[in-house]
Amino acid sequence: MLDRLAPILPLSIAFLVTLAAAAQEPFVQTGYKVGQTIPVSCLNRTIDTGEHITDESGQLSYIPFYTCNETGRPFELLFGVEKDINCTVDFIDDPFFHLLEFYVHNDAPLTCRIPTKPLPPSALKEAFEKGTKDDTDGQGALSEVYTPMIVALTGTLQLSHLHVSTSLNVLVHAAPQSIAPGTIAAATAYSIARDPPTRIVIGDSLPLRFSVRWYPNTSLPSGWTGVGGHLTFSTLVYCLISAGASAAICLAYFRGIELPRRLKSHGKDRLGGVERGSGLGGYGIANGGFGGYGPGKRD
């Protein structure tokens, strides 16, 4: 019996060693695909002081972004998809209103984060239902697979209400495709003065409007053309069109008005010269007939 098992025993041992090594390898995250959903979670804060909330072990607690009335889900991004996203928070209760005061007054930032790569299904479900904790035990730490996204929400504080700039730009950088395909490198969001600030009191809704733009690397393209002194393509085209239109107007004026007027004036000058000459064509015709041989006086 042992003689029969001897040939296959080394192969079985090698298979078991390979299987054990594979079981010990850490989970390797794959990159995002275009259009894949990216959940946004934010740091949980207390309404009393705006300080972040930690659990018994001192780990930071993150909760999903506020639920959008348009989708019935927390605010999400789509990898590589540029679009404007409306996210209306239906009802601002008293705790949320006090947190908005911290965010607008910059006493505490709206600190959010997004997964650098797609999370495992179990972690994604936990993040959506219960929130996630900042695991910093050094073994596959969650803080290493998330990319921070600080939301700079601006506005003004009043005694009885808030004015909030609800239009925000969201900029997300993806790592170069040749280096780390489907990987998020950086992200940020900030309010812009596109529309007048929204007046907010307790019980109102908060209409957030996110304008999302993606960049394929960590460099920002230059969009500034200067205040003046730089020749651009649009300026050159404008100058050429203006010069052509001016030339056409001048040509039409000269051929339609100025040239006929000059021709008419020149013709009158030539006809006037003939009339002022002596006789016909310069030959004098006197009363005495041709060459002085006229009828003369008869005796």
Q: Is the pLDDT of residue 186 over 50?
A: yes
> 247 or 82: which carries more pLDDT confidence?
82
pLDDT for res 228: 54
Could you tell me the pTM of the whole model?
0.63
Q: Give the domain ranges of the chain.
A: 27-215
pLDDT for res 232: 63
Question: Could you identify the residue written with the tokens 């060693």?
Answer: 17
Q: Which string of b and e fits 143-157 if b means at least 16 CB within 10 Å?
A: eebbbebebebbbee
Of 221, 136, 121, the closest CA to residue 173 belongs to 221
- pLDDT band with cut points at 50, 70 and 90 for residue 295: low
**Percent residues over pLDDT 90 in the chain:** 41
The length of the chain is: 299
173 φ/ψ angles, rounded to the nearest 5 degrees: -105, 130
Average pLDDT, the chain: 78
- pLDDT band with cut points at 50, 70 and 90 for residue 227: low
Distance, CA of 267 to CA of 139 (rounded, Å): 104
As given in the structure block, the two tokens for residue 110 are 């709206």
